[in-house]
A and B are shown apart, each in its own frame.
Chain A
Amino acid sequence: AQSVTQPDIHITVSEGASLELRCNYSYGATPYLFWYVQSPGQGLQLLLKYFSGDTLVQGIKGFEAEFKRSQSSFNLRKPSVHWSDAAEYFCAVGASGSSNTGKLIFGQGTTLQVKP
């Protein structure tokens, strides 16, 4: 069965420091991978996506992620965190195939706190 694991429930970093949020997935074929961000009381905003091709993908707000098939990982990175990045981050996998249309499987999320 497809699954997504975000090992870190909560991460605190200082403003200006670098950030890496971990994501591991379990899926038989090549997955479609996504990172979303959610501010309190809000919906999910798409940060970036990986479908195929270059394994390093750039997203909005200065985020990037690297797909590593050998490690089944899709970690999110940012070189310098801003206080406004404090939010909850979700990694998700979209299953391929006609029977899986419209379905995203999400990790449990990582809450990012930014210290001044």
Chain B
Amino acid sequence: KAGVTQTPRYLIKTRGQQVTLSCSPISGHRSVSWYQQTPGQGLQFLFEYFSETQRNKGNFPGRFSGRQFSNSRSEMNVSTLELGDSALYLCASSRTAEGLTEAFFGQGTRLTVV
């Protein structure tokens, strides 16, 4: 069974640009969550999607957005990039029941903003 796939693995962008990251969940998983990992702040929840609807959102500015497609694949977008957005972005998928969050993570996308 294929795991969670994130593309690309590495990205270098310039301040002010925007970026789109992609996540393909495990087959049969309908919930996709996104996390940002930095040395200073650790792992922080960005948002969660289920059946193309955002169900939950973390405390991040509106520059961070996402969406989910009918095949459960998800994308996240960061606009007007700042140096502080440099991080490892992790996607997790789960089969989900109400509030149950056993999540399986992808390898992550390493974003560097210069």
Give chain A's interface residues, CB within 8 Å of chain B.
Answer: 32, 34, 36, 41-46, 49, 51, 90, 92, 94-109
Contact = CB atoms under 8 A, between A and B. Distances in A.
B96 A102 contact: yes
Interface in B33-81: 33, 35, 42-43, 45, 48-50, 55-56, 58
Contacts of A36: 105
Pairs of residues from A and B, 10 with the lowest C-beta to C-beta distance, nearest first: A102-B48, A94-B101, A106-B43, A44-B105, A43-B105, A96-B99, A102-B33, A43-B107, A103-B45, A108-B42
B42 A101 contact: no
B90 A44 contact: yes
Contacts of B56: 99-103
A49 B104 CA distance: 12
Interface of A, helix, strand, loop or mixed by DSSP: mixed
Contacts of B6: 43
- How large, as a class, is the contact surface on chain B? 20 to 34
A114 B96 CA distance: 36
Interface of B: 4, 6, 31-33, 35, 42-43, 45, 48-50, 55-56, 58, 90, 92, 94, 96, 98-108, 110
A107 B90 CA distance: 16
Contacts of A97: 98-99
Contact of B100 (A45, A46, A94, A109): A94
25 contacts: A32-B99, A43-B105, A43-B107, A44-B105, A46-B102, A46-B103, A46-B104, A46-B105, A49-B102, A92-B43, A94-B100, A98-B99, A100-B99, A101-B31, A101-B55, A101-B96, A101-B101, A102-B32, A102-B56, A102-B92, A102-B96, A103-B45, A104-B45, A108-B42, A109-B43
Given A32-B100, A100-B56, A102-B92, 4 more contacts: A36-B105, A43-B106, A94-B102, A102-B32
Nearest to B31: A102
